[in-house]
């Protein structure tokens, strides 16, 4: 529903303000809070090089209960040592002071350039201002969504309303991400042996326990945020979190209701992930790769990801070049055995390869068909049940320009 937004679930308020952390005149402090602390879950980057807010966030969400999220853009607070940890903790304390609750009930988030300490004077002033500006309108949701952006060219938002047990339940979310995107997030974060970043914040008014939220979020992330890449460079700060206000009359803990809510959450996350691909740094189109017939979903996802991560493939997609050989061979980079004699490839709906040999097709017509906002590839690698889809975008000259000058 187009009129739904991040604060459509009952029991949430948000704000986004300008504190001057970014050079450009834009929102850079965001605050998202519930009326009272409630069930929550979060997943974090698995990169061993991880930011201070990830460390603090892992600790705070461990109880399965949060009051809200406080975040900044323009500085990642990564590789900042003990002072970075102290600053992340202070962000939470200030948020609790202006919005209620206690510091450990807040999840901190940061995104921007790595290796710089937070300008805490600006951060403190900004969080206080955000606390005064809290509201539950679509405008407040919009201001928060804009506060989390870095090299993004547009805000990213999605929402869905369903009926569970005769009662309405809303799931909504916003995210950011345009570069340094190759998330591999986990509930355990960097304890497991993601500048720009993937940050996603989700809200629901369903009455759902933290344990169920964790399972739903991990599943949804696996099919959405972990299935999108721009440059396959896992960030130090990747975080996705969901907060449940419990203000809906619908109680969801198991069975059909949980299945419906999980499906809605996955749909919202997939929409957000797609928007990340569409807004990739320098992107002119989305490239959607589906692998079918693999031995498992994990195998299918790995092969699709290998294709999407190939600079050669992404350059060909940018140039509308039906260079199918790059796609087929790209799947082999995943290191998962498959028989090319049992493999076929559809590129933009046109069969270009089957049974180990190319199929006849009109290069000019296919190239023209690839000059579109979305290009699809469907690679069938056998007769298995594993299916996986990964989203990326093309590589353009603008991508190189953005990343050559990002730090300076």
Please tell me the distance from the alpha carbon of residue 73 to that of residue 62, in angstroms, as a whole number. Answer: 24
If you write DSSP's letter for every residue of 127-142 in order, what string do you get?
Answer: HHHHHHH-B-SHHHHH
CA distance readout (Å), 217 to 43, 214, 308: 8, 5, 24
**C-alpha angle 72-75-76 in degrees, rounded to nearest 5:** 90
Residue ranges of the alpha helices (H) in 184-338? 210-222, 255-278, 297-309, 311-318, 324-332
Cβ–Cβ < 8 Å for 27, 122? no
User: H or E stretch including 378?
Assistant: strand 374-380
Q: Which of 197, 203, 389, 392 is catalytic?
A: 197
In whole angstroms, give the CA distance from residue 250 to residue 248.
5
Number of Cβ within a 10 Å radius of residue 53 = 33
For tokens 């202070």, what's the residue? 90
* H or E element, residue 366: helix 363-370
User: Which spans in 160-254 are helix H?
Assistant: 210-222
CA 352 to chain centre: 32
CA 129, 130, 135, 140 dihedral sign is positive
Would you give the DSSP letter of residue 389?
E
* CB contact set of 105 (below 8 Å; sequence gap of 6+): 37, 60, 65, 66, 67, 68, 92, 96
**Tokens representing 198?**
């993937």
- Per the annotation, the verdict on 197 as an active-site residue is yes
Catalytic positions are 197
């Amino acid at each position: 529903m187009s009129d739904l937004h991040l604060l459509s679930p009952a029991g949430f308020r948000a704000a986004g303000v300008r504190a001057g952390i970014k050079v450009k005149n834009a929102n850079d402090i965001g605050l998202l809070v519930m009326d009272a602390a409630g069930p929550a879950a979060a997943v974090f980057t698995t990169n061993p090089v991880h930011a201070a807010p990830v460390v603090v966030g892992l600790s705070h969400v461990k109880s399965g209960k949060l009051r809200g999220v406080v975040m900044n853009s323009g500085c990642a607070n990564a590789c900042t040592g003990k002072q970075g940890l102290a600053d992340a903790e202070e962000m939470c304390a200030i948020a609790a002071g202006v919005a209620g609750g206690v510091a450990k009930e807040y999840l901190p988030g940061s995104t921007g350039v790595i290796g710089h300490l937070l300008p805490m004077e600006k951060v403190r002033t900004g969080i206080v201002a955000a606390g005064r500006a809290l509201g539950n309108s679509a405008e407040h949701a919009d201001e928060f969504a804009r506060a989390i952006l870095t090299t993004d060219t547009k805000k990213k938002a999605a929402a869905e309303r369903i009926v569970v047990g005769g009662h309405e339940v809303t799931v909504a979310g916003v995210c950011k991400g345009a570069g340094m995107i190759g998330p591999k997030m986990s509930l355990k974060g960097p304890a497991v042996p993601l500048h720009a970043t993937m940050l996603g914040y989700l809200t629901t008014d369903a009455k759902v326990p933290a344990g169920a939220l964790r399972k739903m979020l991990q599943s949804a992330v696996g099919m959405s945020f972990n299935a999108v890449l721009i440059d396959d460079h896992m960030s130090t700060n990747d975080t996705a979190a969901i907060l449940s206000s419990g203000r809906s009359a619908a109680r969801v803990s198991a069975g059909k209701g949980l299945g419906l809510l999980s499906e809605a959450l996955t749909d919202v996350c997939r929409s957000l992930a797609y928007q990340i691909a569409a807004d990739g740094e320098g992107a002119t189109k989305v490239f959607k790769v589906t692998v079918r017939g693999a031995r498992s979903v994990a195998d299918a996802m790995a092969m699709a990801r290998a294709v999407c991560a190939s600079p050669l493939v992404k350059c060909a997609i940018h140039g509308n070049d039906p260079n199918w050989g790059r796609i087929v061979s790209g799947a082999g980079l995943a290191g998962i055995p498959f028989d090319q004699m049992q493999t076929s490839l559809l590129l933009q709906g046109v069969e270009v390869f089957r049974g180990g040999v190319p199929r006849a097709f009109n290069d000019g017509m296919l190239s023209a068909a690839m000059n579109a906002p979305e290009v699809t590839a469907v690679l069938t690698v056998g007769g298995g049940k594993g299916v996986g889809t990964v989203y990326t975008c093309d590589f353009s000259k603008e991508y190189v320009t953005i990343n050559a000058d990002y730090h300076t």
